[in-house]
């Protein structure tokens, strides 16, 4: 089974959400449903799938990639100094 990183966007809230799923289309339906139990995505419905990437067949690797992408979102590039950006760690999948 492949795991995907999904990037969702809520136009009403002008917010992005990053998550992982083995089935991005089904997960999008869950985020947009009234039964949605996710505190963040339930508040900002409706969501659009903006991007999806196959990242791994291993759940642990998918979680690592999800955390890496979320860290990038939290640290916008323009706020970094040149020295900090040169030390930025890139995600390296394990072999």
Task: Name all domains of the chain by residue range, CATH numbers in brackets.
Answer: 3-78 (3.40.1440)
Cα-based angle 79, 7, 47 (whole degrees, multiple of 5): 115
pLDDT at residue number 80: 47
β-strands 15-21, 3-10 pairing: antiparallel
52 close to 6: Cβ distance less than 8 angstroms: yes
**Is the pTM here over 0.75, yes or no?**
no
**CA 83 – CA 25 distance, rounded (Å):** 40
pLDDT at residue number 91: 52
Q: What are the pLDDT digits (tens) for 15-72?
A: 999 999 999 889 899 888 878 777 888 888 889 999 999 999 989 999 999 998 888 8
pLDDT of 79 > 50? The answer is no
pLDDT at residue number 45: 87
């Amino acid at each position: 089974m492949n795991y995907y990183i999904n990037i969702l966007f809520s136009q009403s809230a002008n917010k992005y959400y990053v998550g992982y799923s083995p089935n991005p289309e089904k997960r999008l339906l869950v985020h947009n449903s009234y039964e949605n139990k996710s505190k963040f995505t339930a508040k900002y419905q409706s969501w659009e799938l903006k991007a999806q990437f196959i990242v791994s067949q291993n759940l642990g690797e998918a979680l690592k990639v999800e955390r890496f992408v979320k860290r990038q979102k939290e640290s916008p590039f323009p706020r970094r100094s040149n020295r900090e950006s040169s030390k930025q760690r890139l995600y390296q999948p394990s072999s």
